[in-house]
Every structure is written in structure tokens, then in C-alpha cells.
């Protein structure tokens, strides 16, 4: 029964996407949005029913593998079109469908005046379907299928406003980097099949400990290849450059795909393959250290850039860095718990940002925003709740989840203490940049757009411009529509944001150390054979960690208050004093330039070299040679074609005579 519900979870979003995509011409006005919302809500309900079915089983048999049909059966490779339902995949299904439902409801209002409304919902449902394939996959091949479909959905939605040059380029960049990750995953799947003779999750995880010894090079290679895929999808160093550019997509897309769900796929992958990573502790440490580096670097960038959505995007990278550290050092349930709370408050932050960007007529620069507290009280409140949860303010959901990861690093001692220190610094930066947003755009005298909203009661309609390049653009299909919608005036947006705000505040009660620890207990069947599953900091240590985290968060907020409210001249002075560091951060640590230098330019140089040498010389030479030969041969015999009928007749006579003479001589 559980498996049936899980299949239905997959079915509804696919049906929704196809229905909208194929019948959009016949659909009246806003039906596409309703169908989209209904499909995802239905998937969520099925997810809950699957959860109930699964919880009804005894804890040791809480996993179901189900297969619709055989996908391929060649040369010992047997691939089923199968799903694997266990607490981990159900956890992901609930997070994905739950947050997606809310974001669909939000989009129903937010995208109202966009000319591509149907296309948007068709893509969005397709994304949810792909993501569900990814998390429910029963073997590595289905995982790759979901992985690639998700990459495509992300590409389609980043480039959703396809007549914006910046958007199409950002889409391509995301797609190319994701495909590099896909290749890592392919190689990993091939290596797994070569060494274990199967790609099925159940068989692989069962046989791996028998076949491999700890840190044997094959298993390390497999895990590193898996990590390439995980890093690319989750925007970790050095594959992080695409995520900030992905903010060219509509804000609900940033909220759903590039914050709450898709970018956490890498975390899910590591948690899913924890058996393999525990056999290759080196690879697990690589994951943790890359996560640490990403969270620190992304934090510094978020402190420097001024584009509202990009600040939140870098904060996403940084938070996913925490999750990578979590699943890398063995704090699986803490990592997954942080994934969930992060999905809530980051989706909320993006929704609030989308509302503010609407009010600013698509401008995204926080230098231009001021005084939105009075103009948009509801959005301001949700923004503050999101920022509090993000910075780990005591009592909020982020406080419980993030500090659990930090605490576990400290608990493992040794070199992990360095991670502990790094993550605490990261937490301080998180608090500062979250409240940098709050303190810069909410208080103070209202800016022009906010004042307009207060005076006139509706959103200013500025000239439609591309916020990245300031190019004026028309408002037909492929551009954002002329009208904008803010949460204060759109019921759907308000509803979704209110629920997420509520969850951001209270989701922490699921996992209070020493009290309930619902998430850990729920995920236990998945991680029960893990060596880390039964290692816990004691309740006292956990609370000590939480206190530390809470203090750091309050300190960070205080620093932000000092910098942006009390002494607003200080940031400018810092910028002048440390202009080199500031330039480094504003330019995103030159990540793009580094990729250009290391990959793009060498490849281009090789291309130019091949163009000059092979193409000009070998290929052009060969074709020109053949053409010249034909031409000169033609010139040589052209004169025979005189057009003189009588000449032809004479030639024919000689020819026939010659043949006749030849045969006569032969017959003699």
C-alpha cells in the first residue's frame, strides 16, 4: 500500500505538468495555476498517506522497494523502473511536496500578470515530478534520470524570461555546470556496477561492506565521483558559480528550486549513500571540508554584494555548506533536519524578497531600498522571522538544526574541532548578513517606491527594465509582466508566507535535545547500520552547544545593528580600509574568473589552435584538394562537349568500330 501511495506521489505532478502543457490553449484564464496547485497538493496528501503506511510497519522492515517494470536487462545489468520508499525518501518527499505546494500557491498570485502563466506552471510541476523521481529512485540509474530531469527543469525555469539575454545565459551556465556533475554521477554508477554487479540500492548497500575494505581506492573513487555530482547540484565549491546567476529566474523559482529543494539534492545523495561514505572516510572528509570552505566563502560574499536575491542565494550556498558538513561528519539526521528547516525559512525569505522586489518594480539593489517596514508590514514581519530563523536566534527552527550540526563536529574532536570553529565563524557571518538585509531595507525614511505604496495604496509601475543591465524591455511573453503583486494585496502569497513563517518559528520543536528528537527517531531505520547513528552528544553537551549558537547569533545581530543602524558610517570606512578584501568579496572571490582561467580559456585556446591547424590545414586542405582535382579534370574534358551533333555521331561511329574491331580480333 505504501508503494502505491508513493507511485501516486510521482503520478500527480507529472499529470499536472502534461495537462497544463498540452491543453493550455483550451484552459480558461487562471485554470493552469489551479491545476498546478491541485496536482502538488494531491502529491503531498499521497506523501502523508505513504508516511502513515510506512509508520505502520515494524521499525526493522520500514523500507519498501517497488518496481513497475524492467527498464533494461542486458549482460547481467538489470535495471528496474523502481522506487525505494524508506524514512529518508519519505522525509524528502514531504519536504519537497510540502514546500512546493506553498510555493505553487504563492506563484498563483505572484505570476498572475505574466504572459507565460501556463508555461510557468507546467515547468514548475515538471520540476516537482523530476525532484520526486530523484528522491524516490530505487537504483542509481533512476537517480541519474531524476538528477538530469531536475537539471533540465532548473535550466528551463532560470531561462523562463527567455527574451532576457542575462537569463538565457544564466540558464546555460547552470545547465553546463550541472551536466559536469551528471558525468561524475555516471562514472560513479558505472564503477558501482563494475565492483558490485548491481545498481540497485538494496543490493549495493548490502554488498558494499563485504566487497570493500575501509578506504580501499575503488570505494574512495566512487564516493569522490558521487561528490562531483553532489557539489555541482548543490552549488558547492568549485561548482558554485551558477547559483548566484540562477537568480535571473522568477522569485518563486529561486525560492523553490534554488533554495528549498533542488540544491539540497547533493545532501540527500550523501545521506542516501552513507553506507558507501562510511567505507570511504576520506571522501566523507572531503565533503565536509568542501562544505566548510563553501560556507565561509559564501558567507563573506553575502556580506559584500548588494543584490537582494543574490545575498539570499549566497546564504543558501552557505547553509548547504552546513548540511554538507553535517552529512560529511556523520550527523545525518541533523543534516536532514537542517535541510528541512532551511527549506522553510529560505523559501520564506525568498518569498518576502519577491514581494519587496515587486514593490520596487523589479529593482533588486538593497542600496535603493529603504523604509519598507511601514509600507509593507506583513512582508517586513515575515522577512524578520526568516532572518531570525536563518541566523539561528534562540527558539527559532534554525537554532535547533544548525547548532546540532555544529555541536556534532565538536563532539567528534580531532580535526573536526577546526570545523567546529569554522562553522561558528560562519554562524556569526550568517547573523550579520541576515540582519544586514533587515536593517538596510526595513527601517528609516521610505524610499520613493515605498512612499508611493504608502500614499497611493498600490505598487509603483516603473519602466520595465532588466535589473542586471538596466536595458528597457517590453512586457510581452518572455519578459516579466508589467504588473507586480505584493503579499499585502494577494491572498495566495499571504497564505503561503504565513504558513512558512509559522513553520520557521516552530519547526524546531521537532528536535529538542533530550526531549523529543522526532526527526532522529523517524530517520533511525535508514541510518541504523551507520557507525555514527548511535553516537550522540549528551543532552547537556547539546544544550551547551545551543547556548553557544544562540549567543553567537545574538552577537551577530548586535554587530549588524551597530554597523547598519547605530554607526551607518562604519561599513563605508571598513570598505575603504579593507578595499582589497571588499573587492574580492564583491567579485565573488573571482570564482567565474578562476573557472575562465582554468577551464574556459584553455579550452578556447585549444579550439583556436585546432581551428588554425586542423581545420584550415587538414580539413580545408582536403576538401579544397578534392574540389580542385574535380575542377581541373572537368576543365580537361570540357572541350569534348561541343554541342556539335554531327561530331557526336562521328565519335560514336569510331567508338562502335573500335569495339567491333576488338571483338573481331578476340574471336579470331
Partner 1 sequence: MDIEWYIVLSALLFTVGFIGVLVRRNPVVVLLCLELMLSAGALSLLAFSRMLGNQDGQVFVLIVLVVAACEVVVGLGLVVAMYRRRLPLDVDEMKELKG
The count of other CB atoms within 10 Å of the CB of residue 468 is 16
Residue among 591, 582, 587, 589 nearest 241 (CA): 591
Question: Is 54:519 a contact under the CB 8 Å cutoff?
Answer: no
CA angle (435, 436, 442) in 5-degree steps = 80
Helices (H), 442-517: 448-456, 491-506
- Give min distance, CB of 624 to partner 1, in A: 28
**Residue 503: partners with Cβ closer than 8 Å, 6 or more residues away:** 344, 397
| Cβ closest to partner 1, residue 580 vs residue 645 | 645
| Cβ closest to partner 1, residue 570 vs residue 657 | 657
Question: Is 418:544 a contact under the CB 8 Å cutoff?
Answer: no
| Cβ closest to partner 1, residue 509 vs residue 653 | 653
- Give min distance, CB of 155 to partner 1, in A: 57
3-class SS letters over 348-368: HHHHHHHHHHHHCCCCCECCC
CA distance 513 to 521: 12
Chain positions contacting partner 1, by CB under 8 A: 641-646, 648-650, 653
CA distance 401 to 420: 15
| Cβ closest to partner 1, residue 29 vs residue 639 | 639
65, containing H or E segment = strand 64-74
Ramachandran region, residue 524 (left: φ > 0; alpha: ψ -120 to 50; beta: rest): alpha
- Give min distance, CB of 633 to partner 1, in A: 18
H helix and E strand count, the chain: 29, 2
Residue among 300, 291, 298 nearest 334 (CA): 291
Give the residues across from 307 on adjacent strands: 365
| Cβ closest to partner 1, residue 470 vs residue 641 | 641
CA distance 199 to 138: 9
Question: Is 85:136 a contact under the CB 8 Å cutoff?
Answer: yes
C-alpha cell at 155: 535550466
Main-chain phi, psi angles of 65, to 5 degrees: -110, 130
Residue among 95, 94, 100, 18 nearest 54 (CA): 94
| 624-631: long-range contacts, CB 8 A cutoff, minimum separation 24 | none
Question: Is 372:356 a contact under the CB 8 Å cutoff?
Answer: yes
| Cβ closest to partner 1, residue 413 vs residue 638 | 638
C-alpha cell at 58: 515494524
- Give min distance, CB of 662 to partner 1, in A: 20
- Give min distance, CB of 650 to partner 1, in A: 6
DSSP reduced 3-state for 14: helix
For residues 423, 424, 426, 431, the Cα torsion angle rounded to the nearest 10 degrees is 140
| Cβ closest to partner 1, residue 632 vs residue 641 | 641
- Give min distance, CB of 171 to partner 1, in A: 57
Residue among 3, 148, 16, 153 nearest 82 (CA): 3
Residue among 537, 543, 278, 260 nearest 400 (CA): 543
Question: Is 430:328 a contact under the CB 8 Å cutoff?
Answer: no
- Give min distance, CB of 655 to partner 1, in A: 13
- Give min distance, CB of 636 to partner 1, in A: 17
| Cβ closest to partner 1, residue 1 vs residue 653 | 653
CA distance 315 to 296: 10
- Give min distance, CB of 647 to partner 1, in A: 9
CA distance 331 to 401: 11
Bond before 238 cis per omega within 30 degrees? yes
| Cβ closest to partner 1, residue 605 vs residue 650 | 650
- Give min distance, CB of 627 to partner 1, in A: 23
- Give min distance, CB of 668 to partner 1, in A: 20
- Give min distance, CB of 645 to partner 1, in A: 5
| 467-473: long-range contacts, CB 8 A cutoff, minimum separation 24 | 467/307, 467/362, 467/363, 467/364, 467/365, 468/166, 468/248, 469/165, 469/166, 473/163, 473/164
Give the residues across from 667 on adjacent strands: none
CA distance 182 to 185: 5
| Cβ closest to partner 1, residue 477 vs residue 644 | 644
| Cβ closest to partner 1, residue 623 vs residue 642 | 642
- Give min distance, CB of 119 to partner 1, in A: 58
| Cβ closest to partner 1, residue 602 vs residue 634 | 634
Distance of CA 402 to the CA centre of its chain: 20
| Cβ closest to partner 1, residue 515 vs residue 649 | 649
The count of other CB atoms within 10 Å of the CB of residue 312 is 27
- Give min distance, CB of 649 to partner 1, in A: 5
| Cβ closest to partner 1, residue 649 vs residue 665 | 649
| Cβ closest to partner 1, residue 472 vs residue 640 | 640
| Cβ closest to partner 1, residue 113 vs residue 642 | 642
Amino acid at each position: 500500500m505504501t508503494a502505491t501511495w508513493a507511485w501516486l506521489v510521482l503520478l500527480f505532478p507529472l499529470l499536472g505538468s502534461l495537462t497544463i502543457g498540452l491543453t493550455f490553449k483550451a484552459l480558461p484564464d487562471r485554470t493552469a495555476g489551479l491545476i498546478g496547485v491541485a496536482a502538488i497538493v494531491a502529491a503531498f496528501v499521497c506523501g502523508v498517506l505513504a508516511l502513515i503506511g510506512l509508520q505502520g510497519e515494524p521499525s526493522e522492515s520500514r523500507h519498501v522497494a517497488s518496481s513497475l517494470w524492467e527498464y533494461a536487462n542486458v549482460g547481467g545489468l538489470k535495471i528496474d523502473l523502481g522506487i525505494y520508499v524508506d524514512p529518508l525518501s519519505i522525509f524528502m518527499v514531504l519536504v519537497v511536496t510540502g514546500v512546493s505546494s506553498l510555493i505553487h500557491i504563492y506563484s498563483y498570485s505572484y505570476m498572475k500578470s505574466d504572459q507565460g502563466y501556463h508555461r510557468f506552471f507546467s515547468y514548475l510541476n515538471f520540476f516537482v515530478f523530476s525532484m520526486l523521481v530523484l528522491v524516490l529512485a530505487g537504483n542509481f540509474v533512476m537517480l541519474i534520470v531524476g538528477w538530469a530531469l531536475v537539471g533540465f527543469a532548473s535550466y528551463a525555469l532560470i531561462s523562463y524570461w527567455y527574451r532576457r539575454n542575462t537569463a538565457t545565459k544564466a540558464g546555460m551556465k547552470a545547465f553546463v555546470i550541472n551536466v559536469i556533475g551528471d558525468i561524475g554521477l555516471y562514472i560513479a554508477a558505472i564503477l558501482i556496477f563494475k565492483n558490485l554487479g548491481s545498481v540497485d540500492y538494496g543490493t549495493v548497500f548490502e554488498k558494499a561492506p563485504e566487497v570493500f575494505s575501509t578506504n580501499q581506492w575503488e570505494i574512495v573513487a566512487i564516493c569522490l565521483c558521487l561528490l562531483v555530482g553532489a557539489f555541482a547540484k548543490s552549488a558547492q565549491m568549485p561548482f558554485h558559480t551558477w547559483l548566484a546567476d540562477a537568480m535571473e529566474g522568477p522569485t518563486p523559482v529561486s525560492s523553490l528550486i534554488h533554495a528549498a529543494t533542488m540544491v539540497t539534492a547533493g545532501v540527500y545523495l550523501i545521506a542516501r549513500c552513507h553506507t558507501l561514505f562510511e567505507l570511504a572516510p576520506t571522501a566523507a572528509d572531503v565533503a565536509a571540508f568542501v562544505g566548510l570552505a563553501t560556507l565561509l566563502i559564501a558567507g563573506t560574499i553575502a556580506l559584500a554584494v548588494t543584490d537582494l536575491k543574490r545575498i539570499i542565494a549566497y546564504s543558501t550556498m552557505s547553509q548547504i555548506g552546513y548540511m554538507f558538513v553535517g552529512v560529511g561528519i556523520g550527523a545525518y539526521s541533523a543534516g536532514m533536519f537542517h535541510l528541512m528547516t532551511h527549506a522553510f525559512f529560505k523559501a520564506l525569505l525568498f518569498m518576502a524578497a519577491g514581494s519587496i522586489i515587486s514593490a520596487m518594480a523589479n529593482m533588486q539593489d538593497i542600496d535603493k531600498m529603504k523604509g519598507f517596514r511601514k509600507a509593507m508590514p506583513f512582508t517586513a514581519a515575515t522577512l524578520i522571522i526568516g532572518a531570525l530563523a536563518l541566523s539561528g536566534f534562540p527558539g527559532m527552527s534554525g537554532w535547533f538544526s544548525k547548532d546540532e550540526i555544529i555541536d556534532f563536529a565538536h563532539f567528534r574532536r580531532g580535526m573536526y574541532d577546526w570545523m567546529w570553529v569554522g562553522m561558528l565563524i560562519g554562524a556569526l557571518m550568517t547573523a550579520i548578513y541576515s540582519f544586514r538585509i533587515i536593517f538596510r531595507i526595513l527601517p528609516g525614511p521610505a524610499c520613493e517606491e515605498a512612499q508611493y505604496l504608502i500614499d497611493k495604496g498600490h505598487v509603483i509601475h516603473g519602466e520595465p527594465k532588466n535589473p542586471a543591465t538596466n536595458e528597457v524591455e517590453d512586457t510581452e511573453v518572455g519578459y516579466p509582466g508589467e504588473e507586480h503583486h505584493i503579499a499585502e494585496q494577494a491572498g495566495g502569497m499571504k497564505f503561503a508566507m504565513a504558513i512558512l513563517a509559522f513553520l520557521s518559528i516552530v519547526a524546531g520543536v521537532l528536535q529538542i535535545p533530550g526531549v523529543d528528537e522526532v526527526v532522529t527517531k523517524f530517520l533511525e531505520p535508514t541510518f541504523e547500520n551507520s557507525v555514527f547513528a548511535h553516537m550522540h552528544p549528551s543532552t547537556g553537551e547539546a544544550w551547551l552547544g545551543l547556548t553557544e549558537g544562540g549567543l553567537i547569533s545574538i552577537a551577530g545581530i548586535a554587530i549588524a545593528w551597530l554597523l547598519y543602524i547605530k554607526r551607518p558610517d562604519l561599513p563605508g570606512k571598513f570598505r575603504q580600509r579593507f578595499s582589497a578584501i571588499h573587492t574580492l568579496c564583491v567579485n565573488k572571490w573571482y570564482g567565474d574568473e578562476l573557472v575562465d582561467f582554468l577551464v574556459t580559456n584553455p579550452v578556447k585556446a585549444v579550439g583556436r589552435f585546432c581551428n588554425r591547424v586542423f581545420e584550415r590545414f587538414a580539413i580545408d586542405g582536403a576538401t579544397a584538394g578534392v574540389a580542385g582535382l574535380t575542377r581541373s579534370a572537368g576543365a580537361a574534358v570540357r572541350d569534348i562537349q561541343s554541342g556539335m551533333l554531327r561530331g557526336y555521331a562521328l565519335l560514336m561511329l569510331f567508338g562502335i568500330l573500335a569495339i567491333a574491331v576488338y571483338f573481331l580480333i578476340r574471336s579470331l
